[in-house]
Amino acid sequence: MKYFANLRMIACILALIGGWLIYPYSVVAAGVLCIIAILCFPYALLPHAMVVKVLLIAAITGVTYYLESYPKHLGEDQAVITFLDVGQGDCSIIELPDGTVILIDGGTMDYGETVCAWLAEHHINQIDLMIGSHPHADHIGGLSEVVNRVKVSTYIEPETGTFEIPDTYSITLLKRRLSEHAIPVIRAVQGDVLAKGEDWSLTVLSPGKEALFDDLNDYSLILKLQYGSVSALFTGDAGYTAELEILEENLKSDILKVGHHGSFGSTCTAFLDSVRPSYAVISVGKDNEHHLPNSYILERLDTYGVNVYRTDESGTITMRTDGQHIEVSRLEDNLAN
């Protein structure tokens, strides 16, 4: 009798502890364990044989929980998206399982060396697509150094129509380098599929063919990467005006590179409502003079329950996916390993 009382007590305590641990991850599993705890209570009017059955249910609940919520190991064919820390600027590198490498932006000129060093460290000596989201120095500045050091197959820039682009040093130098290395330049518009593989594609959502914006930022290429059932949206510095023009597009994405370094002029509610990302990355410099990211945008992302990662806090952020699940690691995690 005493043996069974002890068994009930142990089962009751285990179920309570289990329920408490599982609660943040699965309310249903926690509820089942709570009921089990009540049934196992030493003074519960339960036949002894039932205790064994209840323990069996507890074990099944535990195993189910483990299988459902334990971080799954990604499959072999992984796509890796790296949001490289380039201070106040943008730089995303996409490596696809078939070996295709896509570089979107390269930070300011000061960070060209950082991008090249990262590529060398990762044994990348060819870039299939180099994309300048829009010709601002904090996006294309570093690309001219990359063109000099790495073989680039094609350069993609947005179609800016009749918009007068100022002749900055970053633009002049990049144009010169692209021409010196005879790299073809393609102007992209909405609907273009920039590249695709067996189970992935990179599509242009903005700017539209007839787009007319007052701000060069709004001409930023908004790109959607789809790999299996996982998608990521790269937005450059596009603001509300550009975001609102593409609400009809299939914006839903698991990962969002937040527009314009988290400034108040981007990531409007309607846009976020359509994208509904699980993860967001803000590429931003530490203590930057523009005080980015904007606190309202952080609040907005928080309201939508988005897991936000910032390069100013975490350094380089890496997202791996097998087309089903996503694993995030930050520089600080890698340093800890």
Query: Coil, helix or strand for 304?
Result: coil
C-beta of 19 vs 141, nearer to Zn ion: 141
Which residue type occupies 102? I
| 159 touches Zn ion (CB under 5 A) | no
C-beta of 213 vs 279, nearer to Zn ion: 213
> 66 to each of 29, 58, 141, 243, 334, how far by Cα in Å?
10, 12, 47, 40, 25
* From 8, 136, 177, 224, residue interacting with Zn ion (rule: CB under 5 A): 136
Q: C-beta of 301: minimal distance to Zn ion in Å?
A: 18
**Candidate segments 9-17, 65-73, 179-187, 215-223, binder of Zn ion by CB under 5 A:** 215-223
Distance, CA of 311 to CA of 85 (rounded, Å): 5
Site string for Zn ion, 218-237 (x = CB under 5 A): -------------------x
Q: Which residues of 150-187 are buried (b: 16+ CB within 10 A; e: fewer)?
A: bebeebbbbbbeebeeeeeebbebbbebbeeeebeeee
| 108 touches Zn ion (CB under 5 A) | no
Q: C-beta of 136: minimal distance to Zn ion in Å?
A: 3
Q: C-beta of 227: minimal distance to Zn ion in Å?
A: 25
> 126 to each of 47, 121, 145, how far by Cα in Å?
70, 13, 14
C-beta of 124 vs 216, nearer to Zn ion: 216
Nearest to 72 by CA among 280, 326, 318: 326
Distance, CA of 92 to CA of 105 (rounded, Å): 7
Q: C-beta of 259: minimal distance to Zn ion in Å?
A: 9
Q: C-beta of 260: minimal distance to Zn ion in Å?
A: 6
| 257 touches Zn ion (CB under 5 A) | no
C-beta of 65 vs 271, nearer to Zn ion: 271
Cα–Cα–Cα angle for 104, 264, 241, nearest 5°? Answer: 70
| 254 touches Zn ion (CB under 5 A) | no
C-beta of 138 vs 145, nearer to Zn ion: 138
Q: C-beta of 105: minimal distance to Zn ion in Å?
A: 8
Distance, CA of 185 to CA of 198 (rounded, Å): 25
- Order of strands across the sheet with 79-83? 185-188, 151-158, 126-131, 101-104, 92-95, 79-83, 317-321, 326-330
Q: C-beta of 127: minimal distance to Zn ion in Å?
A: 20
* From 61, 108, 206, 217, residue interacting with Zn ion (rule: CB under 5 A): 217
Helices and strands (DSSP H and E) totals, the chain: 12, 15
Q: C-beta of 110: minimal distance to Zn ion in Å?
A: 14
- Residues between 275 and 304 that touch Zn ion (CB under 5 A): none
Instruction: Give me the residues that bind Zn ion (CB under 5 A), please.
Output: 136, 138, 217, 237
